C-alpha cells in the first residue's frame, strides 16, 4: 500500500460548496440589479439559464477557446440574452459584483473542517490544485477559514496550465517538492481531477458527492469526506 505524504485537493465542489454559494450570490445579484423589474423572472429561470451558459463557457475556457475575462462576463451576457436584454455594461457590472460577493460565502461540504483537522494532525502535507482564478480562490480560502490548512495553493493562472492537463499536476508536485509515489489527488471532477491526475501518473480519490457512475478506475472512491479517515 502506498505511503502518501502529500495530499492535493480540489477546492470547488470538493470542499467549498460552489453550487450553494453561487446560488446565494446570484440571489443577491438578482435583487441588487433589480432584475425582476427588467422582466428577468422568475429567479429560478434566471438561475437555470446561468448554470447552462456557465457550464458551456467553462468548457470553452478549459479548451482554450475563450479567455478567463470572456468567461467572467459572457456567462452573464448570455443569460441576459435569454430575456432579450443585450446590455453589455449590465452584464459586466453583474459579473464584477458576482466575483466580489461569491468568495465571501462560506458554505462547505459536511465534515470539511473536521477532516482537514484530522489530516493535519496526522502530519500530512495538504495542498490545493484549482482551475479557479487566483484572487477569487484566495478570497474563498481566507473567508471560509480553509487557507491555514494548505501549504501550497496552485491555481491555473499561476501555473499557466489547467486541469486535466498533466502539466498543472507536475507543476504542483514540483512546488511541493513531492514525488509521484507519495502524492495523491482528491477531487470531484472525473475529467479534471481524476483523469487529469491519472494522466500525470498520480493516485486519486474520487470525491463522489453526487453518486455519479464512471468507467474510470480511481484508486479510491468516497461519497462523503468523513470516509477519508478510512484511507489516511
pLDDT of residue 158: 86
SS3 per-residue string spanning the chain: CCCCCEEEECCECCCECHHHHHHHHHHHHHHHCCHHHHCCCCHHHHHHHHHHHHHHHHHHHHCCCCCHHHHHHHHHHHHHHCCCCCCHHHHHHHHHHHHHHHHHCCCECCCHHHHHHHHHHCCCEEEEEECCCHHHHHHHHHHHCCHHHCCEEEEHHHHCCCCCCHHHHHHHHHHHCCCHHHEEEEECCHHHHHHHHHHCCCEEEEECCCCCCCCCCCCEEECCHHHHHHCC
Ordered by where they begin, the domains of the chain are 6-17+108-230 (3.40.50.1000), 18-104 (1.10.150.240)
pLDDT of residue 1: 60
Q: What is the pTM of this model?
A: 0.92
- Ranges of residues in the chain with a pLDDT under 50 are none
pLDDT of residue 61: 87
pLDDT of residue 210: 93
pLDDT digits (tens, 9 = 90+) for 140-160: 999 999 999 999 999 988 898
pLDDT of residue 128: 98
Amino acid at each position: 500500500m502506498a505511503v502518501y505524504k502529500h495530499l492535493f485537493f480540489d477546492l470547488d465542489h470538493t470542499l467549498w460548496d460552489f453550487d450553494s454559494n453561487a446560488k446565494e450570490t446570484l440571489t443577491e445579484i438578482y435583487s441588487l440589479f433589480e432584475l425582476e423589474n427588467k422582466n428577468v423572472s422568475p429567479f429560478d429561470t434566471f438561475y437555470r439559464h446561468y448554470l447552462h451558459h456557465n457550464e458551456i463557457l467553462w468548457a470553452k475556457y478549459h479548451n482554450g477557446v475563450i479567455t478567463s475575462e470572456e468567461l467572467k462576463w459572457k456567462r452573464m451576457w448570455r443569460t441576459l440574452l435569454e430575456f432579450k436584454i443585450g446590455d453589455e455594461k449590465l452584464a459586466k457590472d453583474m459579473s464584477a459584483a458576482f466575483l466580489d460577493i461569491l468568495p465571501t460565502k462560506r458554505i462547505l461540504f459536511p465534515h470539511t473542517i473536521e477532516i482537514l483537522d484530522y489530516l493535519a494532525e496526522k502530519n500530512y502535507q495538504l495542498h490545493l490544485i484549482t482551475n479557479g482564478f487566483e484572487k477569487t480562490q484566495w478570497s474563498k480560502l481566507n473567508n471560509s477559514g480553509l487557507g491555514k490548512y494548505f501549504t501550497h495553493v496552485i491555481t491555473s493562472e499561476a501555473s499557466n496550465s489547467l486541469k486535466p492537463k498533466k502539466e498543472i499536476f507536475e507543476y504542483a508536485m514540483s512546488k511541493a517538492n513531492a514525488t509521484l509515489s507519495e502524492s495523491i489527488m482528491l477531487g470531484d471532477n472525473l475529467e479534471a481531477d481524476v483523469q487529469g491526475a491519472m494522466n500525470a501518473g498520480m493516485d486519486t480519490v474520487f470525491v463522489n458527492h453526487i453518486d455519479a457512475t464512471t468507467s474510470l478506475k480511481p484508486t479510491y472512491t468516497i461519497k462523503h469526506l468523513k470516509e477519508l479517515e478510512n484511507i489516511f
